[in-house]
Homo-oligomer: A and B are copies of this chain.
Amino acid sequence: MSNALTLDIPAGMPWIDFTREFDAPVGAVFNAHRDPDLVSQWLGPRGYEMVVERWDFTTGGGYRYLHRNPDGMEFGFRGTFHTVRENDLAIQTFEYDGAPDEVSIDFMWFEDLGGGRTRLHGRSIGRTVEGRDAMLDSGMEKGMAEGYERLDDLVAQAG
């Protein structure tokens, strides 16, 4: 059974907090975020293909990728990595091509729980409360939940 994704969505604020635990060491979870060959195997909803155009998971780096759904529709995303600290923290910007200039800033803390377990805690802050709500309405929670289930499988294979 996989661990649950917990979202905290305060009314009237522009951010979403999330927490997800993994039965895998912090190094494995972090590496699954850093290595584009691994990222493309789990990030996004089930049934989507991820095409990574750029993935430079380093401080000052950036990314661009497409998600292609089973009908062949493509959804593009891009951003910069403000901070990447190994097994600790990633701070990035995030923009969906379909909502131009509605850029969020996303914080992700990687916490070593010991015993080969990891907690991922994140905060995603939109430009407006309405932008945050639109992100939620786009099916963000389902996409995240499915992505992290795929990440469970990926790190289990590696272990």
Contact = CB atoms under 8 A, between A and B. Distances in A.
- Per CB-CB distance, the 8 closest pairs between chain A and chain B, nearest first, are A80-B80, A105-B105, A82-B93, A60-B62, A91-B103, A80-B82, A82-B103, A125-B125
Interface of A: 13-15, 60, 62, 79-83, 89, 91, 93, 95, 101, 103-105, 107, 123, 125, 127
Contacts of A104: 105
A59 B30 CA distance: 26
Given A82-B103, A91-B103, A105-B105, 8 more contacts: A83-B95, A83-B101, A89-B101, A91-B93, A103-B105, A103-B107, A104-B105, A107-B127
A95 B83 CA distance: 10
Given A62-B60, A80-B80, A101 B91 contact: yes
A60 to B, nearest CB: 5
19 contacts: A60-B62, A60-B80, A62-B80, A80-B80, A80-B93, A83-B101, A89-B101, A91-B93, A91-B101, A91-B103, A93-B93, A93-B105, A101-B107, A103-B107, A105-B105, A107-B127, A123-B127, A125-B125, A125-B127
Given A103-B91, A105-B125, A81 B80 contact: yes
Contacts of A83: 95, 101, 103
Contacts of A93: 80, 82, 91, 93, 105
A108 to B, nearest CB: 11
